Amino acid sequence: MKNTISIECPVELLLSLHINIEDFGELIKNQSAISLFKEGKISSGMAAQWLNIPRVTFLFKAMASGAVLLENSQDDFNRETSLL
């Protein structure tokens, strides 16, 4: 089941960004997925599924936006190597 969220957006914002409403919606969706991932609220797999892109592609986008994938902690190491 899919849900749709509606937000108000002044036309001046679209004009200043030089994008149409559809592209603005995609921008908000991408930024939201990355932010939720960076905050640890959703997994990279869930974010990738939401954006309908491969997980690796999402991880590259997230890293380009400053996401830290591993903090070099023992917990991170154990979690990542348990998948091998």
Q: Give, as one character, the DSSP assignment of residue 5.
A: -
Of 29, 34, 42, give the one whose Cα is nearest residue 66: 34
pLDDT tens readout for residues 18-63: 999 999 999 999 999 999 999 989 999 999 999 999 999 999 999 9
- Is residue 33 within 8 A of residue 42, CB to CB? The reply is yes
The pTM for the full model equals 0.77
